[in-house]
């Protein structure tokens, strides 16, 4: 049996809970205070993301992980990534990008570029203050703007960065082990060939006609 006015009472109860909740976080048992933005900046959660950036180890010129394979450019749904591969003086392809642009006015932050990159070179940033009056050139981020160190990556996404470093180190060790095995096989084959040549009896010289 519904009592008269019960709906109004329930509505007022929900309103009162929301009013109290705007001052007090019942989940974490702490009081909510207004942040004096922009003097005070909120600490973003680790899972937050905005737009992609390129990771480099050590030196940005030699430590860039990207090899310009263009997989992210092909897989990007809004086609906002543009890559040109570096070439040396003889025109031979160099495994790094000469041009790497991302149009953040088109990027939808889907993170597909991160998922498809086989070299762990592209990750999602959490910088959100990117508004500009120019909707064209200002919102196109070039390689120099996209390059950020692995230390920066650890500072914004420590858990994911640690897991990424572990995968890179495991892949490096696997590659070194495979190269060692291949070198041992080549050395063994060379030694066997030399042994066979020594054991093979020499043919007597044929007299001249």
Phi, psi of 95 (to 5 degrees): -75, 65
Residue 35 lies inside a defined structural domain of this protein: no
Higher pLDDT, residue 191 or 32: 191
Higher pLDDT, residue 190 or 34: 190
Confidence of residue 77 (pLDDT cuts 50, 70, 90): very high
Please report the pLDDT score of residue 137 as a whole number: 80
Residue 155 lies inside a defined structural domain of this protein: no
Whether the pLDDT of residue 122 is over 90: the answer is: yes
| Rounded Cα gap, residues 84 and 51, in angstroms | 20
| Domain interval for residue 117 | 52-149
Phi, psi of 146 (to 5 degrees): -85, -25
Note the pLDDT tens digit of each residue in 128-157: 888 888 777 888 999 999 999 999 999 999
Please report the pLDDT score of residue 200 as a whole number: 67
Please report the pLDDT score of residue 28 as a whole number: 56
Beta strands in 108-151 (DSSP E): 122-124, 140-141, 147-149
CATH number of domain containing 131: 3.30.70.3270
- Match 């990534």 to its residue by tokens: 81
Residue 176 lies inside a defined structural domain of this protein: no
The number of domains in the chain is 1
Higher pLDDT, residue 58 or 41: 58
pTM exceeding 0.85: no
Higher pLDDT, residue 39 or 200: 39
Rg (CA), the chain: 30
């Amino acid at each position: 049996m519904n009592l008269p006015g019960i709906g109004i009472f329930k509505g007022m109860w929900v309103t009162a809970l929301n009013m109290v909740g705007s001052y007090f976080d019942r989940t974490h048992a702490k009081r909510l205070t207004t942040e004096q933005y922009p003097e005070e900046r909120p600490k973003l959660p680790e899972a937050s993301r905005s737009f992609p950036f390129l990771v480099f180890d050590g030196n940005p010129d030699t430590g860039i992980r990207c090899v310009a394979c263009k997989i992210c450019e092909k897989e990007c749904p809004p086609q906002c990534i543009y890559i040109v591969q570096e070439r040396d003086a003889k025109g031979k392809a160099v495994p790094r990008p000469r041009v790497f642009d991302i149009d953040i006015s088109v990027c939808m932050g889907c993170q597909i570029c991160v998922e498809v990159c086989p070299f762990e070179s592209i990750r999602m940033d959490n910088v959100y203050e990117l508004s500009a009056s120019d909707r064209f050139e200002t919102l196109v981020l070039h390689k120099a703007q996209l390059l950020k160190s692995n230390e920066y990556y650890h500072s914004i996404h420590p858990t994911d960065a640690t897991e990424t470093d572990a995968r890179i180190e495991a892949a490096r060790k696997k590659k070194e082990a495979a190269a060692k095995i291949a070198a041992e096989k080549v050395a063994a084959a060379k030694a066997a060939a030399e042994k066979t040549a020594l054991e093979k009896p020499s043919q007597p010289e044929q007299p001249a006609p």
